[in-house]
């Protein structure tokens, strides 16, 4: 319809651009009224087209093509996180098969976890039992194990408050499965000599020392070898105790010029200028005239502030402070 209007206006403007145009209007009482309207010679077809199109669009914007607001036309237009195109919008899923196992596609086209409903334990997958009509992680006997996601968890530990499938109940379970030599809290760990070792000299008889997961179970296991180490209970490996948490903790470890705390270990400052020492002070009264007691790591007498190394008498100017070494 829009195109017929435009075509008609082209025709009208072409014929009557310099003439008067008679417009007939039907009144409410049924009479007909005719009015002469002068059309300016300056009017152009572009003016008419623009006016008609704009008014037409405003009056019927609901008829605009959907492509103006569409995000996609096909799945190819969508990203991997929302790979499906539905009514011009990219969504996560269209059907439940688009989601991973255990999830369904909801009314918002999003994958939603669907708790498996059950009446008895046999309705649930291995490693799960029926509780309050829902399948939850747990077990009653070894027959309920192992879960598909944890194939080594073949044993039901009924001593737990909420029994679960675990790798082992005893050392024999680990040895038989070739998963290790010790059972620690249901997990098999590999330890070839007890106490843990760093070299073969730490082992007795024919035992061999192999450093791997399970080198320790407690701090005592590590300190028998090196008193400065502790047992990381996540990795079961002996690690050095942290020397520091902040730079100030390094003052005792690095008494000359202090140091920086880097990942729990003190990095002592050792490159002080020749014949220079970091002479510590407690307050300004211990300093010569013109000097104050301050410091980034260790306090010592220095100028109130510095702008260059020349202000520091052989030390270094760092952020307005003289430091012993960098």
Neighbour-count burial for 149-167, b at 16+ CB within 10 Å, e otherwise: eeebbbbbbeeeeebbbbb
Whether 102 contacts 89, CB under 8 Å: no
The partner residues of 232 in beta bridges, in order of sequence, read 237
Q: Which residues pair with 317 in a beta bridge?
A: 322
Distance, in Å, from the CA atom of 98 to the CA atom of 82, rounded to the nearest integer, reads 11
Residue with tokens 């194990």: 145
Residue 36: the pLDDT is 56
The string of pLDDT tens digits covering residues 98-141 is 987 667 899 999 988 776 778 888 888 888 888 888 888 899 99
Strands (E), 160-273: 164-166, 182-184, 187-189, 229-232, 237-240, 259-262, 265-268
Tell how many helices (H) and how many strands (E) occur in the chain. 4, 20
Please report the pLDDT score of residue 192 as a whole number: 56
Q: What is the pLDDT of residue 209?
A: 54
Cα-Cα-Cα-Cα dihedral sign, residues 308, 312, 315, 317: negative
pLDDT for 38: 53
Domain limits of the chain? Answer: 2-63, 75-113, 121-166, 190-240, 247-323
- In the block, tokens 């430091």 appear at 323
In the block, tokens 């607001």 appear at 69
Residue 95's pLDDT is 92
Q: E-assigned strands of 78-195?
A: 84-86, 89-91, 103-105, 111-113, 128-131, 134-137, 155-157, 164-166, 182-184, 187-189
Alpha carbon distance 98, 111 (integer Å): 8
Which residue ranges in the chain fall short of pLDDT 50?
1-13, 15-19, 21, 23, 39-41, 43, 45-58, 61, 66-67, 200, 205-206, 211-214, 274-277, 326
Residue 83's pLDDT is 92
Return d(Cα 12, Cα 44) in angstroms, integer: 11
């Amino acid at each position: 319809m829009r195109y017929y209007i435009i075509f008609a206006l082209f025709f009208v403007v072409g014929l009557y651009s310099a003439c008067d145009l008679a417009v007939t209007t039907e009144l409410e009482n049924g009479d007909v009224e005719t009015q002469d309207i002068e059309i300016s010679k300056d009017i152009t077809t572009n003016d008419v087209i623009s006016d008609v199109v704009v008014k037409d669009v405003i009056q019927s914007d609901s008829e605009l093509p959907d492509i103006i607001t569409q995000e996609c036309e096909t799945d190819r237009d969508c990203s991997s996180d929302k790979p499906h195109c539905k009514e011009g919008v990219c969504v996560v899923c269209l059907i439940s098969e688009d989601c991973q196992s255990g999830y369904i596609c909801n009314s918002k086209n999003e994958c939603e976890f669907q708790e498996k409903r059950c009446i008895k334990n046999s309705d649930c997958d291995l490693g799960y039992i029926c509780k309050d009509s829902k399948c939850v992680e747990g077990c009653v006997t070894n027959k309920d194990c192992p879960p598909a996601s944890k194939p080594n968890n073949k044993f039901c530990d009924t001593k737990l408050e909420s029994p679960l499938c675990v790798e082992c109940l005893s050392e024999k379970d680990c040895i038989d499965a070739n998963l290790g030599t010790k059972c620690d809290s249901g997990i098999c760990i590999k330890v070839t000599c007890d106490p843990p070792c760093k070299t073969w000299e730490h082992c007795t008889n024919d035992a061999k020392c192999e450093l791997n997961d399970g080198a320790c179970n407690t701090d005592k296991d590590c300190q028998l070898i090196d008193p400065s180490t502790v047992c990381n209970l996540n990795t079961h490996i002996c690690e050095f105790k942290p020397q520091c948490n902040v730079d100030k903790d390094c003052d005792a470890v690095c008494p000359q010029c202090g140091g920086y705390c880097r990942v729990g270990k003190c990095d002592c400052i050792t490159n002080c200028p020749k014949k220079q020492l970091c002479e510590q002070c407690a307050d300004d009264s211990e300093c010569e005239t013109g000097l104050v007691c301050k410091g980034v790591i260790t306090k010592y007498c220095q100028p109130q502030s510095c702008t260059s190394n020349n202000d520091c008498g052989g030390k270094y100017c760092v952020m307005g402070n003289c430091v012993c070494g960098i």
